[in-house]
Amino acid sequence: MSHFCEDRICIVTGAGRGIGREYALMLASHGAKVVVNDFGGARDGTGSDAGPADEVVAEIEAAGGEAVANGADVSDFEQARQMIEQAVDTFGGLDVVVNNAGILRDRMLVNMREEEWDAVIRVHMKGTFAPAHHAAAYWRDRSKAGQPVDARLINTASVSGIYGNVGQTNYGAAKAGIASFSIIASRELARYGVTVNCIAPGALTRLTEDLHPGEITDEMRERQSPRWVAPIVTWLASRESSDVTGRVFESSGNVLAVAEGWHRGPSTEPVDDPTTLGPIVRDLVSRARLNADMQGQDSDGGLG
């Protein structure tokens, strides 16, 4: 067992399967003590099952690591508070929260039902806010009490949110919001010894396998294995990463990159007559960089 994250006390939400499972296993293999959170719902958020979290804990313990299961609904404010308390009560503190839990309810905008919008926004956005809030309050109190804090908040965005994917207005809006949330939180929490970063992962999991048209080859399955995403999260969770904050990292078996956020593009003096704006706006747009495609590169036209 490596000592890269030795005795770092970590919570990983949505850690019973897929990418979250890989996070928990790798963190534990590097010496972290892990709270394995998983509500155990289906990919659309329905149902619950304690089995996946328990299985990951058993796997960690069998390898000589330390872990405990947690079945909280991370979008429930009180349950999120109790999850933070479980880490502190069980392991004596808290160093890292990885907000990974999520669901999908994809639908074209004109067909999306209100409950599909609400469920995705609740799990992703409130399910990031609630654990982050309670963890941040814990770290602030320790800092104000003069105790050392070297903590990490690691959230989960998506290329669907930062670049934009058709059929995912609910999911993309939530993930773009989480990216902005992370940048703002990094500025607020720096004074307390907390870094905040965000991962936009790419992997084949039960949430994403059916989004790929055609046959999934063995090579594709390997290149898109969740195991490729875990190293950057493990590094960010370590003590070594204390000088990196406020960043969004795109991570998959194909790429590790820093996503660059919104910047002001071409500009001009303000205009008070809307009837004169046509040629001015078209000139600004013609000189502006195109919106990125799903590979994070300038698109070749379309709607920009």
CB 8 within 8 Å of CB 197: no
User: Has 171 been annotated as catalytic?
Assistant: yes
How many Cβ atoms are within 10 Å of 209's Cβ, its own excluded?
Answer: 13
Catalytic residue among 23, 138, 163, 171: 171
- The CA angle 57-206-121, to the nearest 5 degrees, is 90
* Euclidean distance between CA atoms 72 and 74, whole angstroms: 6
Give residue 208's identity as a one-letter amino acid code.
T
One-letter-per-residue 3-state SS of the chain: CCCCCCCCEEEECCCCCHHHHHHHHHHHHCCCEEEEECCCCCCCCCCCCCHHHHHHHHHHHHCCCEEEEECCCCCCHHHHHHHHHHHHHHHCCCCEEECCCCCCCCECHHHCCHHHHHHHHHHHHHHHHHHHHHHHHHHHHHHHCCCCCCEEEEEECCHHHHHHCCCEHHHHHHHHHHHHHHHHHHHHHHHHCEEEEEEEECCCCCCCHHHCCCCCCHHHHHHCCHHHCHHHHHHHHCHHHCCCCCCEEEECCCCEEEECCCCCCCCCCCCCCHHHHHHHHHHHHHHCCCCECCCCCECCCCCC
The catalytic residues are: 171
